[in-house]
Structures are given as structure tokens and as C-alpha cells.
Amino acid sequence: MTDRLIDELLKIDRFSDEEVVTLLGFLVNKFVRKGDHFLNPGQVSRHFAFIDSGLVMHYGLHDGVEIPCNFSMEGDWMGSLKSFTTGSPTEVAIKALEDCWIREMTGGQLQQLFLSSPRWLLFKNELVQRVFFNITQHNADFAKLDAKARYYKFMKERPDLINRVPQYYIAAYLGIKPQSLSRIRKEG
């Protein structure tokens, strides 16, 4: 039997069996139905989770419209770093776009993990850095590319998302209106 979570862990660092067991002892299985929130807008984030299956979006609200800023899927970890570390109400909510099976832990458990082995802090840093690099790239795309180019780039780089994310969310992620995205798709 293989465990995707362990596979992903070992890609990042050489965790010992003991370290892995400690982590698994903290994790609790949970089901999140499509459309439900892992983290509601304005709430304080208290959990950090691995996604075994399914897809979520991280999003902010603007004039009542949900604007995704990131997507996470099976094999990814998810959480609202800022709310989680500062205890402030989150500016970024997390909602399931598909039924999800996840394994979650609390902030206190994560702290215990950090104390149990220095490797876990490096692990966290690695995850933060990955998201940081992605956001930096997305940001550069906004400054450099027009709407059409951003859409083509998204299609090329995230073909896995094209058919799993509703187009009006993709449009919002790219900073354009759904009608404009339709037009871009039509005119090739």
C-alpha cells in the first residue's frame, strides 16, 4: 500500500520512519463536500491539511465576487499562512471545488512537530517558498502580459486545471471578466 502523503514528504526531505509516524499521529481524516469551505472568509485559520483527493481554491472577495488567487489539489498541502501564523482573520478563504478527502492537524500540533525535529521547519519553509515562487510568477504575468496572453499561458502551464475549474473562476484568477474570456476563447 502506498501513501501519496509520504511520497510527497520524501520528495522534500529524508524523513525518518519515526518522523513520519509522528506526523501521521497528528493527522485526522476529513471529508469536505464540493462547495463547502475548509476556511470561511474572515475566520481565523486553525488547521493545516494535506489533500488526498479533490481540488480547492484560495480566494478573496471583491464586491461580492470570489477572486481565486491559488488552487490546491491532491498531493498538495493547504492552509492560510498569514491567518495561521498571526492569528488574524483570514483575507483568503479556502473552498472545495470538488469533493475532497483531506488529513488535517491543528496549529498546536504543528508547533509540536517543529519541536520534535528541525526537519519539519525546513519542510514548512520549502512549502512556503514554493507558493511564494508561484505567486511571484503569477504577479509578473499580470504586469507583463495582456489578458489573452495570460489565458494562453495558463492553458499551457495548468492543463490539469482547465477542465476542473469553472471558467468564470479562471477568468477571475486571470483578472478578467467571464465574457472577455469567452471572447478570447472564440477568437482564438
Partner DNA sequence: TCCGGTTCTTAACAAATGTGAATGGATTTG
Partner DNA sequence: CAAATCCATTCACATTTGTTAAGAACCGGA
Which positions lie near DNA, rule CB under 7 A? Answer: 146-148, 166-168, 175-186
* Closest CB to DNA among residues 111, 139: 139
> How many binding residues for a second copy (CB under 8 A)?
31
**Beta carbon of residue 187, minimum distance to a second copy (angstroms, whole number):** 22
Residue partners of 77: CB distance under 8 A and separation at least 6: 48, 49, 50, 51, 127
DSSP 118: T
Interface positions, 17-76, toward a second copy (CB under 8 A): 60, 62, 67, 69
DSSP 42-101: TPBP-EEEEEEE-EEEEEEEETTEEEEEEEEETT-EE--HHHHHH-PBPSSEEEESS-EE
**Beta carbon of residue 64, minimum distance to a second copy (angstroms, whole number):** 12
* Closest CB to a second copy among residues 46, 119: 119
Q: Which of 140, 160, 162, 179 touches a second copy (CB under 8 A)?
A: 140
* Cα 51 to Cα 75, 134, 149, distances in angstroms: 6, 19, 31
Grid coordinates of 82 = 498569514
Grid coordinates of 31 = 471529508
Considering the rule CB under 8 A, would residue 118 count as an interface residue with a second copy?
A: yes
- For a second copy, the binding residues (CB under 8 A) are 60, 62, 67, 69, 81-82, 85, 91-92, 118, 121-122, 124-125, 128-129, 131-133, 135-136, 138-140, 142-144, 172-175
